[in-house]
Structure 1
């Protein structure tokens, strides 16, 4: 394996916490994006699932095809080789806790915990904003071409891992092959592979690392690819998708099994379009980002306002509400803020000593107090709550409109800074959907 990759993977956290942006530093394009711990412990949003794309008809029919060839006499002994091999995917539920535990101990870049918790063995992809995985079970059969009798069998787990870097202009797709059982004429079997990337990405030969390796009981075989984004210009964005392929081989088989191609059913997006950072980074855009705000954290009044605003019907609540969408235009952001929280000198609300006006949805969203009403016959009305110290507004319910509340200045400032950090860490760009999750 490439020494640079192995060195870059040494410091990766076992828990695979969500990627957070760090200060931009020069990085080697041959080193996989590195995992760093979150700044504060917080619950993790649930991963989403997507159907696998690796179950092609040709793979499902590989062993049936071989059986038909043997029955028809189309295969003959060549150079003394009497065995042929085929491969077939397993089904849902065909993975054991013991197999997953062994896989977790061996995988070079460990999969997130949710991959093992949710694995059923059918290759379903699970993904978050920053990583994705799929675990599938496979069987390789070796048969005698003269009789069709089974002479050997190799059972294995295929574990895909895709992970991105919030401030790295590339991502990684790793495939691990872990033998779980085997017998008969499988000695000397090797596996090797390669990969491709389509879309706004490049993949040079030096970015592909899946050399020929033995398949044995002492360790697993694996390979990875490191596609680089072609996005560079300020404000640019682009998406790409990877495929990793591999094939088993054995010098004693006269017919080798078909190769396997594994592909996530979603794209990776890389961009240079997040205000506040000039670093290019990548995420899985199919998963909307989730901003976690705690009622018992550093900004309890800020969190309480968001919670009550969401409870009254306003959008953004994780996981079942309508998502918010990021607004990056400075002029419209100011209009949102001025509409929800006009200054007292301009006929707005008086600010109690030590308090400032907080608005929800955030001024940096298209659902904000001004932009959320654009195109409507009349602007949507605002709302507030009994503890918010704004007598000019009343309580309301429903999905349309906005909320304002007086909260301590320090909390308002801190909440805004953390929101901006969230945007950068999760690469939430213009019009990106996202949620706000209020936790205890």
Structure 2
């Protein structure tokens, strides 16, 4: 392994260490792949809840591997060598290994720190949970060593496997880290090692230098791990998806028969794109998680937040977590039609603008639910609505229901600031054309 240098490089990637002095032969991690787990641990605003990924079977080849091994031993189908009469197998372990103490120990030893939700939701069965920017899974495994001659178990090693996938909104790379953390064991397991490899299927590449899972000895004194850094394929003007697999093997020179390898593949893709307006960077997200824009009523733009809250409460779409989602619209001509429909200028028969105020519309002009596009293919737009504090007398109040749109006069500085923050949300979450998202209004 690239030992201390590699460990320092991982810590650097999560912002924990200053730049280490790399040896001449060392290769630093790709630039701009920065993962900040504190975003999930101590956010300035509430974090939307992680989502459970589609379920998957854990390593089909291992599900009954120990039972199959015992059957072969009992039937005398395995030949024992005098010096090495033992065989090993791996099978799913007990969920009882998921304890607060072990989770705390794992958290303290994981190179790229996993968000808190990984530990809060872990059940030990390898179920994946994800947000827009990261994903994780924790599974429990047991390695058993059996004497081929007698059929008696002569050793056992229990460990946690912790997977972490994290992306960057401004880098074409993402990462898949696997940690092997020994939680217990007995018998003939001394000197057991782990090593691994990785691959990526889809619109992604994985060079030899982007795979790092060398041979390491498993002990209770340290954490063994590996990671891969796939890079998105050609996505200029578009987007592409990729799915990673990390494979590893446990081995021991004292065993005649080594256990089968373990593979870890998520049940979802990472998507990288260069199609997000407002940035020339290629960036990556987990698209199955619909992005959530968190807006505070006590933040920098309270009038904007109040209008969105009132519009959603009246029945318009986009409310987190259960409202119908909004969908991103990137066509500039259609965005202008949405804006002009909801907020026509006074000079063209629209609403008068009080001094220092401007017209805010919801759903946003940059969505397919906007005032014009939300009515398509109808020849005329759905009706608008407003509220008694919005200073627009031309629109009706007390209108409810999912069809239509809302307009409200809010302070121009807040409207401009809110628009900039919405664009930043789009970029940081790589919300591209027709991507679904919601808006969460918090205190």
Structure 2 length normalisation: TM-score?
A: 0.93
Q: Secondary structure at the match of 2:101?
A: helix
Task: State the match for 1:424 in structure 2.
Answer: 427
Task: State the match for 2:19 in structure 1.
Answer: none
Match of 2:143 among 92, 117, 140: 140
Displacement of 1:148: 1.1
Match of 2:313 among 300, 304, 311: 311
Does the Cα contact within 8 Å between 1:8 and 1:34 map onto a contact in 2?
no
Match of 2:243 among 241, 244, 252: 241
Q: Map of 1:28-427 to 2, 5 A cutoff?
A: 30=30, 33-36=33-36, 41-53=44-56, 55-92=58-95, 94-233=97-236, 235-376=237-378, 378-395=380-397, 396-427=399-430
Structure-1 separation of matches of 2:12 and 2:71: 48
Taking a change above 3 Å as real, the CA distance of residues 215 and 40 of structure 1, as seen in their structure-2 partners, is closer
CA RMSD after TM alignment:
1.8
Displacement of 1:54: 5.5
1:165-222 Cα shifts (integer Å, max 9, x gaps) = 1101110000000000011000111010001100000011111100010011110110
Displacement of 1:377: 5.2
Structure-2 separation of matches of 1:336 and 1:4: 51
Displacement of 1:56: 3.0
Displacement of 1:232: 4.4
Taking a change above 3 Å as real, the CA distance of residues 178 and 8 of structure 1, as seen in their structure-2 partners, is closer
1:31-65 Cα shifts (integer Å, max 9, x gaps) = 58212576982111110012453613321110011
Q: Does 1:438 align with 2:405?
A: no
Structure-2 separation of matches of 1:12 and 1:203: 21
Q: Any runs of at least 4 consecutive aligned residues in structure 1 with deviations exceeding 3 A, and if so which? A: 1-6, 27-32, 36-40, 51-54, 91-94
Structure-1 separation of matches of 2:76 and 2:157: 25
Does the Cα contact within 8 Å between 2:7 and 2:111 map onto a contact in 1?
no
Taking a change above 3 Å as real, the CA distance of residues 29 and 271 of structure 1, as seen in their structure-2 partners, is farther
Task: State the match for 1:20 in structure 2.
Answer: none
Does the Cα contact within 8 Å between 1:5 and 1:31 map onto a contact in 2?
no
Structure-1 separation of matches of 2:183 and 2:7: 26
Does the Cα contact within 8 Å between 1:179 and 1:216 map onto a contact in 2?
yes
Q: Secondary structure at the match of 1:269?
A: strand
Structure-1 separation of matches of 2:56 and 2:124: 14
Structure-2 separation of matches of 1:40 and 1:279: 25
Structure 1 length normalisation: TM-score?
A: 0.94
Structure-2 separation of matches of 1:264 and 1:6: 27
Structure-2 separation of matches of 1:142 and 1:98: 26
Structure-1 separation of matches of 2:12 and 2:367: 39
Q: Secondary structure at the match of 1:407?
A: strand
Displacement of 1:339: 0.0
Aligned residue pair count: 427
Displacement of 1:379: 2.0
